[in-house]
Homo-oligomer: A and B are copies of this chain.
Amino acid sequence: MKIVNLDHMSANPLVPEVQEAIIAAMRGNYGNPSSQHRMGEKASEILENSRESVAGLINAAAPREVVFTSGGTESVNHAVKGLAWANADKGKHIVTSNIEHTSVIRSMRRLKMMGFQVTSIPVDEYGRVSPDDVARAIRDETILVSIMHSNNEIGTIQPIDEIAGITREKKVLFHVDAVDSVGVVPIDVQKLGVDALSFASNPFYGPTGMGGLYVRRGVKIWPLLEGGIQENNKRAGTENLIGIVGMGVAADLAIRDMESRIAHLTMLKQKLLKELPRYIDEYSINSHQQYSLPNLVSVSLKYIEGESIVLMLDDENIAVSTRSACASGSLRASHVLLSIGLSYADAQGTLVITFGADNSEEDIVRFLEALQGTVNTLRKLSPLYKKAV
């Protein structure tokens, strides 16, 4: 039985074009982009072609504003720590939000251990940050604001351009974690007006373990990985050339297919949201109606545990998730869901359903039917449910 993958957020498949590009790069044996001889020149050319493609995807003013990294987590660590360290002479205060990805949260925690101060601002019931709150949190010693573009658990999209207007006015650097947005929805770093932006290759069907960091020209940042002079002196280490090639091709495809992909994802999302009440009751949708990713639905089901649903659906060859894969294994309730006001019980009863280009309407129907059976079975066993009805 075919696996219905409704957990694209955890792992997107590599599209055939990306696979073929990686295979060709391996067979091509391109050498080291830093070498002085011909083998190196070829590698260097391929590297810079990919950089142009990726720069195009986010509309960077110049390809050299893109630094290739080993993924979204490295990009975020590099941005948050690297910007804080490099600008600490101006102050040691940072502003962020309560629903950031663990890579931001833990980087902030580390900076606190190193003498920085962090203000984390709350979000509303849909997970939106208020630009006014950001403005109020900025002090004379503030050097950096870091707010995510879209949330990886509820899909809510933040008013990044408005916040950027504030940070520019107050002359504070602005980093945006856009790992779940770049390649999925249009992102234009120049229009947004941000100073740094983290992203990863897998959300747009490129390889895992590959990412990028946009750093606007002139912004002071320390490298996280130091050594050789690769990546315009911003990120040392011999390049993951096959990964970079894959990311470049994936970026080209994302630019080409952005519109049709969004249309397809939106159709799937609408279908799920519309059909859901025909299959189950006593649930709530956690995302913002207007400002949210087209490929994600977060639904909280009363009286039951998300983990149990995931396991039972897995038996029916349907993959969904309770939260970001990065946080799985943790038994604590999601900080994102608690931040938007969910009770501990409702947070534990939450499913994150993420679509991809390979999903069909039939996948939605199979999921809904399986979910109905699973929810009925689990609620029959639930002491909370028995008490409630």
Contacts and interface: CB of A to CB of B under 8 A. Distances in A.
Interface of A: 3, 5, 7, 10-11, 13-14, 19, 22-23, 26-27, 29-32, 34-40, 43, 69-74, 76-77, 101-107, 109-110, 200, 202, 207-210, 222, 224-230, 236-243, 307, 310-311, 313-314, 317, 319-322, 324-330
A322 B35 CA distance: 9
A109 B313 CA distance: 52
A240 to B, nearest CB: 2
B35 A11 contact: yes
A39 to B, nearest CB: 5
A70 B236 contact: no
A19 B241 CA distance: 14
A240 B106 contact: no
Contacts of A317: 38
A209 B325 contact: no
B70 A325 contact: no
B209 A239 contact: yes
A39 B241 contact: no
A322 to B, nearest CB: 7
A218 B72 CA distance: 29
Given A26-B14, A40-B325, A226 B35 contact: no
A14 B23 CA distance: 11
Nearest to A318: B37
A73 B227 contact: yes
B39 A227 contact: no
B35 A7 contact: yes
Contacts of A110: 222, 226
23 contacts: A7-B35, A10-B35, A11-B30, A11-B39, A14-B29, A19-B27, A22-B26, A23-B23, A32-B208, A35-B325, A36-B311, A69-B70, A70-B70, A71-B240, A103-B225, A103-B226, A208-B242, A224-B225, A228-B326, A229-B326, A236-B326, A237-B326, A238-B326
Contacts of A7: 31-32, 35, 37, 39
A69 to B, nearest CB: 8
Given A7-B37, A11-B32, 13 more contacts: A10-B32, A11-B238, A23-B26, A35-B319, A36-B310, A38-B314, A70-B70, A103-B225, A200-B238, A208-B240, A209-B241, A228-B325, A228-B326
Nearest to A228: B326
A74 B34 contact: no
Contact of A240 (B29, B209, B311, B330): B209
* Closest 10 pairs (CB-CB, A-B): A209-B240, A228-B326, A103-B227, A73-B237, A70-B70, A106-B226, A10-B32, A11-B32, A34-B325, A37-B314
